[in-house]
Amino acid sequence: MKPKTLRTLPDLRREMAAWRDKGLRYAVVPTMGAIHEGHMQLVREGLRRADRVITTIFVNPKQFAAHEDLDKYPRDEPGDLLKLGKAGSNAVYLPRPDDIYPPGFSTSVSLTGPARAGLEDRFRPHFFTGVATIVAKLLVQTGADLAMFGEKDYQQLRVVTRMARDLDLPTEVIGIPTVREDDGLAMSSRNVYLSFAERRRATAIFQNLNLAAEAIRNGRVPSQAAAQAARRLRDQGFKIDYVTARNAETLARPSIPGERLRLLAAAWNGKTRLIDNIAV
Ligand code: PAF
């Protein structure tokens, strides 16, 4: 069914109040559009846990640096609404810029902990402030019981989870496993940028993370297994930003035997930067 579109903050508030009045529990799926199977899975998982799902679409300028792809970020509202309807999203919030950043906007969320793990934050210094600020706003504006995030952006998931806990936001943050193409490539809105040859090569990131995870499970020192994965990827033509094993919750470097680990990678495949991660 076609989802109800809510284009202003007052529209959103009215609809959310109506859901509350009916005693419904609802989940929010925050997105920047360019909806793919990964987002659709977040909607379906939201519907498994709550009575209604609201998806938000807003390409957030505050999480892009000047040299990044804000202007060419893929936008397709009709296609997005069709896919979200197919997944079962009951409503879609497409706020006007002023609904998110009213004139004179001067507040942002300041972060440490997982936001300073030296992963995405090292290469995109403004990114998590932009993400955390808009996510805080979307959780407050929607008042959702649950917020659905993909594990694909693992550091983002950890940052948002920590923020919601630290600020006593009443929304429970839920992480959902990465949805992958048949060859293992993590679904991402940026995959559309890949040429045919780059697309074929892209699966190597997931493959090498799996080899490293297996080596760690077999007793290899995590930093050595990650370094080997980075070497292999470099040999296959990637430019590496990082391949590293971290504590799965804090994203700190491993320090305790037996702690739960996550392997994370970011690498350039031609002009496209890909990220991925897996549990060890
Ligand atoms: O993951 C994304 O698409 C964005 O970072 C988010 C969470 C929608 C915030 O703009």
151 Cβ inside 6 Å of ligand 1: no
138 Cβ inside 6 Å of ligand 1: no
> Strand 91-93 relative to strand 4-6: parallel, antiparallel, unpaired?
parallel
60 Cβ inside 6 Å of ligand 1: yes
> Strand 91-93 relative to strand 261-269: parallel, antiparallel, unpaired?
unpaired
Nearest CA to ligand 1 atom 2: 31
- Predicted confidence at residue 125, as pLDDT, reads 92
Nearest CA to ligand 1 atom 5: 131
> Strand 146-150 relative to strand 172-176: parallel, antiparallel, unpaired?
parallel
- Per-residue pLDDT 10s for the chain (280 aa) are 899 999 999 999 999 999 999 999 999 999 999 999 999 999 999 999 999 999 999 999 999 888 887 888 888 999 999 999 999 999 999 999 999 999 999 999 999 999 999 999 999 999 999 999 999 999 999 999 999 999 999 999 999 999 999 999 999 999 999 999 999 999 998 899 999 999 999 999 999 999 999 999 999 999 999 999 999 999 999 999 999 999 999 999 999 989 999 999 999 999 999 999 999 9
Q: Count H helices, E strands: the chain? A: 10, 9
233 Cβ inside 6 Å of ligand 1: no
157 Cβ inside 6 Å of ligand 1: no
153 Cβ inside 6 Å of ligand 1: yes
Nearest CA to ligand 1 atom 1: 31
CA of residue 183 to ligand 1 center, whole Å = 25
CA of residue 194 to ligand 1 center, whole Å = 21
d(CA 73, CA 81): 17
Structure tokens at 168: 């006593």
- Predicted confidence at residue 239, as pLDDT, reads 98
CB contact at 8 A, 124 and 241 = no
CA of residue 218 to ligand 1 center, whole Å = 35
Nearest to 160 by CA among 141, 142, 136: 136
Nearest CA to ligand 1 atom 3: 31
- Predicted confidence at residue 189, as pLDDT, reads 83
CA of residue 220 to ligand 1 center, whole Å = 35
Q: How many residues does the chain have?
A: 280
Q: Look up 39 and say whether it is catalytic.
A: yes
